[in-house]
């Protein structure tokens, strides 16, 4: 089972490398709107990870409490006063 999974992983990795090689050589074009969607998605994911790390790891709270609306209302009330 592990060997079959490892070989599948290797084939997927080779396909990804081939795709990027062809993309950087200019053989494959990616539309602008797809690039924008990918950029916004990556931006949103890094924002969520940054909130979780900042509130849960660096701060004193629980990691998933950073995603609760009550936490943000408390933070905004603290800033306003």
pLDDT in tens, 10-49: 999 999 999 989 988 988 888 999 999 999 999 999 999 9
| DSSP per-residue codes, 29-67 | ---HHHHHHHHHHHHHHHHHHHHHIIIIIISSS-GGGGG
pLDDT tier, 62 (very low <50, low <70, confident <90, very high otherwise): confident
Query: Based on the domain organization, do 18 and 37 belong to the same domain?
Result: no
Hey, what are 64's tokens?
Answer: 């998933």
Query: Based on the domain organization, do 70 and 46 belong to the same domain?
Result: yes
Domain count within the chain: 2
Query: Based on the domain organization, do 66 and 51 belong to the same domain?
Result: yes
pLDDT per residue as tens digits for the range 68-79? 898 889 888 989
Range of the domain at 11: 1-30
Q: Looking at residue 5, what is its pLDDT?
A: 84
State the pTM of this model.
0.61
Query: Based on the domain organization, do 63 and 77 belong to the same domain?
Result: yes
* Dist CA 73 CA 35 (whole Å): 33
Query: Based on the domain organization, do 73 and 45 belong to the same domain?
Result: yes
Query: Based on the domain organization, do 3 and 36 belong to the same domain?
Result: no
Q: Has residue 65 got a pLDDT over 90?
A: no
């Amino acid at each position: 089972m592990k060997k079959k999974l490892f070989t599948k992983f290797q084939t997927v990795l080779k396909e990804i490398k081939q795709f990027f090689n062809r993309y950087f050589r200019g053989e494959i074009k990616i539309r602008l709107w797809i690039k924008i969607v990918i950029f916004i998605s990556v931006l949103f994911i890094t924002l969520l990870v940054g909130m979780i790390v900042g509130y849960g790891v660096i701060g004193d709270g629980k990691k998933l409490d950073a995603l609760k609306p009550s936490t943000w209302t408390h933070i905004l009330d603290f800033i306003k006063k």
